[in-house]
Amino acid sequence: MRRLPPAVMLAVAVVAALGMTRHEPPPEAPPVVAPAPVPSAERGHALVQRDCGGCHAVEATGDSDFRPAPPFRTLHDKYPLESLEEALAEGILSGHPAMPEYEYAPGEIADIIAWMKSLEARSGARRPGG
């Protein structure tokens, strides 16, 4: 039998060594908990347009269709948005008899708050006189 060239011998040795040191299969991986979805101001915007926009101004500008309903961009003047988050979570958002109560899933609330925060950020950027 013909002697193999050294390079081939080396390759065979490397493959054999790799084979011997091959790792055991990893132990059973822990169950993956789906991460909470990242709050999306876009989705929040769609939600408030659908559910609140009939009365409230939900955009960065404009007046409410239903005059007594405060535009959303002014809400943070009165409340920290965290308290709105709590109110939404508990389904007790009933600031006015004309206003229906809503119940949202936590993800939807996070989306709505994200939208409110984006309004807060924008209106904060052009506070009168500042």
Q: Give the interface with ligand HEC as residue ranges (CB under 6 A).
A: 48, 51-52, 54-56, 66, 68-70, 75, 78, 84, 93, 95-96, 98-100, 102
Nearest-angstrom CA–CA distance, 47 and 51? 6
Of 87, 85, 92, 52, residue with least CA distance to 71: 52
Question: Of the two residues 10 and 42, which places its CB atom closer to ligand HEC in the complex?
Answer: 42
Shortest Å distance, C-beta 89 to ligand HEC: 12
Shortest Å distance, C-beta 120 to ligand HEC: 13
Tokens of 72: 């959303």
Question: Of the two residues 12 and 65, which places its CB atom closer to ligand HEC in the complex?
Answer: 65
Shortest Å distance, C-beta 83 to ligand HEC: 9
Shortest Å distance, C-beta 26 to ligand HEC: 47
Whether 114 and 41 have beta carbons less than 8 Å apart is answered as yes
CB-based burial, 78-111: b 16+ in 10 Å, e otherwise? eeebeebbebbbeeebeeeeeeeebebeeebbbb
Question: Of the two residues 17 and 94, which places its CB atom closer to ligand HEC in the complex?
Answer: 94
Question: Of the two residues 100 and 124, which places its CB atom closer to ligand HEC in the complex?
Answer: 100
Amino acid identity, position 57: A
